[in-house]
Amino acid sequence: MKIIVPRALRRPIGMIYRFIYRHHRRILKLTRPIIEERKKEKQLSKEHPTEVMIGWLMDAAPDSDEQSVESLAMRLLNVNFVSLHTTTKVFIHALYNLAANPKYIPELRQEAEQVLDKDHPDGWSKEALGRCVKLDSFFKEALRWALSAFRV
């Protein structure tokens, strides 16, 4: 649902909204130094690292209102929420699918024991997890089921 607010009232309503939700103040406190540093880098060198999310958000903001520290911090908060929300959703659906189909547990366990070294925590690397083909397929199927549940 999208709320339509006249342009003249956006700033006061935004201020009220930020007052009510204290996590906005916290994200501002945490990200303000980083955002200000990135803005200085951009002004001085006209180049800034675009491999970080703040760089992407700064490049995507068309006008000066959206380049403010507050606006960039809120955008970063929204991106983080969405990424965590979807990851959690997929993981929960995978757990539900595993509980509903316990016959897959031995195969997934066997693959994990073969590929991942339980004696060395370093064995749980991105490359090692990438070799877990059955686990990857299981999570992809859980994601497919999760997405199909929301289609009409």
Express each pLDDT in 45-73 by its tens digit. 766 566 677 777 887 777 666 678 888 88
Mean pLDDT for the chain? 80
92 domain-assigned: no
108 and 48 in a single domain? The answer is: no
pTM to 2 decimal places: 0.55
113 domain-assigned: yes
pLDDT at 129 (0 to 100) = 81
As a whole number, mean pLDDT of residues 11-38 equals 81
The confidence band for 99, taking pLDDT boundaries of 50, 70 and 90, is: very high
pLDDT at 46 (0 to 100) = 62
| Type of residue numbered 146 | A
pLDDT at 22 (0 to 100) = 73
Distances from the Cα of 31 to the Cα of 21, 46, 71, angstroms: 17, 21, 11
110 and 69 in a single domain? The answer is: no
Structural domain boundaries enclosing 129: 101-148
Domain count, the chain: 2
Q: Is 72 exposed, middle or buried (0-12, 13-18, 19+ CB in 10 A)?
A: buried
pLDDT tops 70 at residue 78: yes
pLDDT at 47 (0 to 100) = 64
pLDDT at 120 (0 to 100) = 67
107 and 75 in a single domain? The answer is: no
pLDDT at 121 (0 to 100) = 64
**Do 128 and 115 meet the contact criterion of CB atoms below 8 Å apart?**
yes
